[in-house]
Structure 1
Amino acid sequence: MFTAILIEKTETGQTVGLKQLDESALPEGDVTIDVLYSTINYKDGLAITGAGPVVRRWPMVPGIDLVGTVSASETDEFKPGDTVLLNGWGVGEVHWGGLATKARLKSDWLIKLPAGFTPQEAMAIGTAGYTAALSVDALVNAGVKPEDGPILVTGTPGGVGSVATALLAKAGYHVVASYGDESEKEYLTSLGAKEFVHRDEYSAPGKPFQKETWAGVVDSVGSHTLCNAIAQTKYRGFVTACGLAQGADLPGSVMPFILRGVSLLGIDSVMCPKGPRMAAWARLDRDLDRGLISKIGHEVNLEGAIQAGHDIVAGKIRGRVLVDVNR
């Protein structure tokens, strides 16, 4: 038997609660894992609350991240006792995820835990931090240099924005972070932010052309926020888009793309191939100050993950939520 958060479909919506399940209920896969830690991401919050159409197979164990110890393996790539890491791959959407004490997954989805991280640190970083690293890698690979100008990071102090701020600051960029409350500035400054803009300046419809300000942007918000950031990006600047906290729409203009040569780079963390995935984790291993991880994340138990799912959708979460599934 194992314990899991189980989302079940009903005639009027869904139910969510802790369940004791037999291991035979686990889905197909060639690696069985004793889960140590998972996380709560915005997508997990949408699944738990039913606020978005995340769950596509019922019943579902949410949790798009996990780290754990292999207990059984049908592949030579992993053996019992290995500590493995998972981010994405539709887990928590179409395949049972990490908010449980056991998981069964496909070996193609797993990587070994990078040697520089403890299981707790890897999940404090999680998909949000890994997505932030993919975004930073995209800007660096596009040729954006610190001397080109400031980088705007939206969605702070959320998980993606928090880690992106820390990684960009470590790489020498001048980071301008969005905020909603004055109390967030101290936290963002500790991550490396040099200046701030209020998120309300970006959340309403804006002009298609605005003052050229940003050499690059890391956006996890979407909708009007993303469009305003694009409208303020410098000639031949780059904007990465990885989230939709404000909305999935893109109510802007093509003018910055065709008159300023701005490039919009999509960041997919779910189906990302192993090469870029490993490069992102290498950046995290190299550039993320371990002392910052405790500031970025806080821990809840498995039952507490349900409330955390509601809180993240309501915008009440700062940084990352680490879930000790055995507590």
Structure 2
Amino acid sequence: MFNALIVRQDADSGLGAAAVEQISLDQLPEGEVTVAVEYSTVNYKDGLCLSPKGGGLVRRYPHVPGIDFAGTVEASDDARYKPGDKVILTGWRVGEAHWGGYSQKARVKADWLVPLPAGLDPRRAMAVGTAGLTAMLSIMALEDHGLTPGRGPVLVTGAAGGVGSVATAILAHLGYEVAAVTGRPETGEYLRGLGASRIVPREDLNETVKRPLESETWAGCIDAVGGEMLARVLGQMKYGASVAAVGLAGGAALPATVIPFLLRGVNLLGIDSVLQPYGNRTRAWARLATDLPLDRLDEMVKPAVLSDLPQLGADILKGQVKGRVVVDVNA
């Protein structure tokens, strides 16, 4: 028997509620590889899965959330992994449609795993997690479209969140000038500690303007907000610059025009981490192990245990989680 955070649905109300329970191996879903989970983390999707209605992501109950985990292979029917191997899982709808990492053991398909890269341990890998992987995929996409440190400032929206925090730290480490957008003034010192050279108050970009183009300001952007802010930012990009879109905290609608794309050659790059091909995943994780300063990674971490997760899930949906949460599932 081992511990897991189980979300069960009330028969009368239809609402889910989470609690730590003991379960057995035969209750785990099918898969080729069984992993002794060491650490997980908290992402926005985890908050949705822990919410009373499952955020539209949970297909059936009872359910174990946790879209990320890192640990040690315990048993494997796939030649690529053997007992003792250190592995990471992010994406593939694990923690949503398939039981996830809020458990001391998990069973998954071998195709969903990647080896833990040299330079990272399981705890730090979960300090990175899906948020950090998304940040690295965004930076890689911007670089592939011509971004270099000499082109000018790079804007990071939602900078105090998980993706934004890791993106800020990596970009600063690589020599970029980072302008960090936040709606929480108290996070300014935290963001400067990660390497941001400029703090941009959220209200400076929240105002809707009728002009499709403004002064060319940003050489690149990693946007976790979407909505009106993304529309505004598109009109402020330098000629040929790109925006990597990673989230929709400000809304899914995009009240923009095509003018920035036609007159300035601006690129809007969609970043998906869920179904990212294996080669790109391993490339991103290898870069995270070398390009993310580990001292700054450690500074953005808040520790947690399984019993903390229901509250943390609610907090992240309210935008009240700063940096990265690392969950020790064995504590």
Q: Does 1:29 align with 2:31?
A: yes
Select between 229-238 and 47-56 the one with higher mean Cα deviation.
Answer: 47-56
In 1, Cα distance between the equivalents of 2:145 and 2:256? 23
Whether contact under 8 Å (1:57, 1:93) holds in the other structure is no
**Which residue of 1 is the match for residue 46 of structure 2?**
44
Match of 1:67 among 70, 84, 93: 70
The match for 1:55 is 58
Structure 2: stretches of 5+ with no match in the other structure: none
Equivalent in the alignment of 1:281: 285
Say yes or no: does 1:94 pair with 2:97. Answer: yes
What displacement does 1:51 show? 6.7
Cross-structure match for 1:324: 328
Quick check: 1:290 aligned with 2:294? yes
Question: Structure 2 CA distance, aligned partners of 1:106 and 1:21?
Answer: 20
For residues 127-142 of structure 1, what are the structure 2 equivalents within 5 Å? Answer: 127-142=130-145
Aligned pairs for 1:1-327 (under 5 A) are 1-10=1-10, 11-49=13-51, 50=53, 52-207=55-210, 208-327=212-331
Question: TM-score, normalized by length of structure 1?
Answer: 0.96
Would the aligned equivalents of 2:47 and 2:313 in 1 still touch at CA under 8 Å?
A: yes
Equivalent residues of 2:185, 2:201 under 8 A apart: no
CA-to-aligned-CA distance 1:264-285 (integer Å, 9 cap, x gap):
0010011100111111111111
Paired positions, count:
327
**Relative to structure 1, is the Cα distance of residues 51 and 194 closer, same or farther in structure 2, using a 3 angstrom cutoff?**
farther
Q: Which amino acid aligns with 2:328?
A: D
| Runs of at least 4 residues off by over 6 Å | none
* Contact map agreement 2:5 2:21 (CA 8 A) in 1: yes
CA shift for structure 1 position 182? 2.8
Q: Distance in 2 between matches of 1:45 and 1:200?
A: 26
Cα distance in structure 2, aligned partners of 1:186 and 1:290: 18
Q: State the alpha-carbon separation in 2 of the partners of residues 115 and 144 from structure 1.
A: 27
Q: Tell me the amino acid that sits aligned with residue 5 of structure 1.
A: L
Distance 1:205 1:33 in 2: 48
Q: Tell me the distance in 2 between the aligned counterparts of 1:63 and 1:285.
A: 22
Q: Give me the whole-angstrom Cα distance separating, in 1, the residues matched to 2:258 and 2:316.
A: 32
The one-letter amino acid of 1:318's match is: K
Give 1:142's aligned amino acid: H
Long gaps (5+) in structure 1: none
1:146 deviates by 1.5
Q: Tell me by how many angstroms 1:200 deviates.
A: 2.0
CA deviations over 1:179-210 (Å, ceiling 9, x no partner): 22332111111111111111122234333322
Separation in 2 of the partners of 1:78 and 1:267? 28
Q: Counterparts of 2:253 and 2:22 in 1: how far apart (Å)?
A: 40
Cα distance in 1 for partners of 2:170, 2:227 equals 25
Q: What letter is aligned with 1:18?
A: V
Q: After superposing the two structures, state which structure 1 stretch, 242-251 or 109-118, moved more.
A: 242-251
What amino acid is aligned across from residue 82 of structure 1 in structure 2?
D
Q: Structure 2 length as normaliser, TM-score?
A: 0.95
Structure 2 residue identity aligned to 1:43: K
CA contact (8 A) 2:16 2:54 kept: no
Q: Distance in 2 between matches of 1:76 and 1:198?
A: 51
Q: What is the CA RMSD across the aligned residues, in angstroms?
A: 1.3
CA displacement at 1:260 relative to structure 2: 1.5
| One-letter identity of the residue aligned with 1:220 | A
